[in-house]
Amino acid sequence: MALKRRYRFLYLAIACIAGLAAIFVVDGYLGIYDTVYITTGEYEQKIEAYEWLREENFWSTSARWDEKVSFRYEIENHQFSTYSTRIEASVWKENERVIDLFAEDKSIEPFDKVTVEWTLSSEELESAGFGIDEYADYTIKINYGDVERKVIVNFYSPEEGSYPKPLPPRER
């Protein structure tokens, strides 16, 4: 009897440590996570969910006017239930919607992910009446549920000696 009473606090301490570890694992893993991949030329950028928590709440990239910009968007469901949402991507210029790039309803099974892809080309922007000029910045808004992600694409001329304007510095 004395032996059982002696280890009672040890068992209680082990149970508390296991409970705290479980809380951190569940809190850090469960949820809905999204990742944006942007390919311009031969360069791919990966923007994970935590990147959007910064003060700016947007991501900037540069692209040549004559090359397509490819987007790949992944949403991961780390929950025990199916997650259904509408995923939309559109181009905005000076707070006005210019082009709808992608819109589709998706259902994501528990602990699974869905990937959608689309491209943005200068031909699409030109057909909407836009071109490359001094301010060739276009905002790509990606929405799912109540979440909005913004990617600012700065297009620059492919002519020799023409370089993109500098982007704001990002702390890593």
- Would you state the pLDDT for residue 128? 83
CATH number at residue 132: 2.60.40.10
Q: Is residue 168 part of a domain?
A: no
- For residues 114-132, one letter each, b for 16 or more C-beta atoms within 10 angstroms of the residue's C-beta and e for the rest, the string is bebebebebeebeeeebeb
Q: What is the DSSP letter of 132?
A: -
Structural domain contains residue 169: no
Q: Which residues pair with 14 in a beta bridge?
A: none
**Residue 161 domain-assigned (yes or no):** no
Decide if 60 is inside a domain: yes
Instruction: Work out how many domains the chain is built from and give that number.
Output: 1
Residue 172 lies in a domain: no
Angle, CA of 21, 25 and 28, to the nearest 5°:
135
Kindly report the average pLDDT of the chain as a whole number.
Answer: 84
The CA-to-CA distance between both ends of the chain, in Å, stands at: 58
Q: What tens digit of pLDDT does each residue of 102-120 get?
A: 999 999 999 999 999 999 9
Does the residue 165 lie in any domain?
A: no
pLDDT tens-digit series, residues 112-159: 999 999 999 888 888 888 877 656 789 999 999 888 999 999 888 877
Residue numbers of the domain that contains 71: 2-156
Read off φ and ψ for residue 19, nearest 5 degrees: -65, -45
Distance, CA of 40 to CA of 122 (rounded, Å): 13
Residue 29 placed within a domain: yes
